[in-house]
């Protein structure tokens, strides 16, 4: 099935193939021909065009390299293809409920950076997010590690979150000074976003969500 996350509306949805470009035949796939293909398809939720790159099924049919498939042909090849990537890259959805706008902007950009594989950018943005969170809590003196400690001592962060944030600081510091020797990978970037989530939940979300729930239940 031609399905994925739409880059524009963010829905996990089905796409309708409109046209397909036959890039080239996969070598040695005779007689069950398989092709590299790019399918241009509209999102069933918002109708915007996204493109899927991948491989067709293996089948007894012959397509011309460089040709364009239309209508039913495009739909058939698109529905049965194996997708390797989408263009544009889907932006990951991000929940910023209860997070101040100034801080939420860092979280959204960090998610967008991860979506396009900009792992250094993710780490630097998460570092900035923690700095901004400290600033919002009126903690502005000292290094990042001192700010994290101050947020912990003021009761804004739990100990587990403080320890995680310290682990991230090492990468962030190295990169901010241009001293990074090993490029951060996807896992480093995902860990950084996990830490960001914990920091925001500790500082802003947990209490606000509880207050919100209490307020709703007392007015029932
Ligand atoms: Zn869409």
Q: Kindly state whether residues 119 and 192 are assigned to the same domain.
A: yes
* Å from CA of 139 to ligand 1 middle: 41
Sign of the dihedral defined by the CA atoms of residues 196, 200, 201, 203, in that order: positive
Q: Residues lining ligand 1 (ion), CB within 5 A? A: 6, 8-9, 43, 45-46
pLDDT of 42: 97
Q: Last residue of some domain: 87, 110, 136? A: 87
Q: What is the pLDDT of residues 171-206, one digit of tens each?
A: 566 556 666 567 888 888 999 999 999 999 999 998
Q: What is the mean pLDDT of the chain?
A: 90
Q: Give the pLDDT mean for 120-136.
A: 92
**pTM > 0.75:** no
- Residue 90, pLDDT > 80, answer no
**Angstrom distance (rounded) from CA 137 to CA 150:** 10
Q: Which helix (H) or strand (E) holds 92?
A: none
82 in a structural domain: yes
Q: Last residue of some domain: 25, 55, 87? A: 87
The CATH number of whichever domain residue 197 belongs to comes to 1.20.120
Higher model confidence: residue 92 or residue 20?
Answer: 20
Contact 158, 195 (CB under 8 A): no
Q: Kindly state whether residues 79 and 116 are assigned to the same domain.
A: no
* Å from CA of 185 to ligand 1 middle: 29
What range defines the domain where residue 63 resides? 3-87
DSSP 3: E
Q: How confident is the model at residue 169 (pLDDT cuts 50, 70, 90)?
A: low
Total count of domains within the chain = 2
Nearest to 103 by CA among 133, 123, 125, 140: 133
pLDDT of 173: 62
* Å from CA of 46 to ligand 1 middle: 4
Q: Kindly state whether residues 57 and 127 are assigned to the same domain.
A: no
């Amino acid at each position: 099935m031609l399905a994925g996350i739409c880059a524009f509306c963010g829905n996990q949805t089905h796409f309708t193939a409109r046209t397909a470009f036959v890039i080239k035949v996969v070598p040695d796939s005779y007689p069950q021909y398989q092709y590299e293909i790019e399918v241009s398809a509209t999102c069933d939720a918002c109708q915007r065009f996204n493109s899927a790159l991948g491989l067709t099924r293996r089948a007894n049919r012959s397509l011309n390299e460089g040709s364009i498939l239309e209508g039913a042909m495009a739909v058939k090849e698109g529905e049965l293809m194996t997708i390797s990537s989408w263009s544009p890259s889907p932006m990951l959805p991000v929940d910023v409920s209860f997070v101040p706008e100034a801080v939420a902007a860092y979280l959204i950009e960090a998610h967008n950076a991860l979506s396009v594989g900009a792992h250094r950018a993710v780490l630097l943005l998460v570092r900035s997010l923690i700095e901004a969170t400290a600033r919002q809590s009126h903690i502005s003196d000292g290094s990042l590690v001192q700010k994290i400690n101050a947020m912990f001592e003021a009761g804004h962060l739990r100990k587990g979150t403080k320890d995680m944030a310290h682990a991230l600081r090492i990468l962030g510091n190295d990169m901010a000074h241009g001293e990074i020797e090993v490029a951060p990978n996807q896992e480093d970037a995902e860990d950084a976003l996990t830490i960001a989530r914990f920091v925001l939940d500790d500082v802003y979300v947990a209490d606000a969500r509880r207050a919100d729930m209490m307020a709703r239940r007392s007015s029932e």
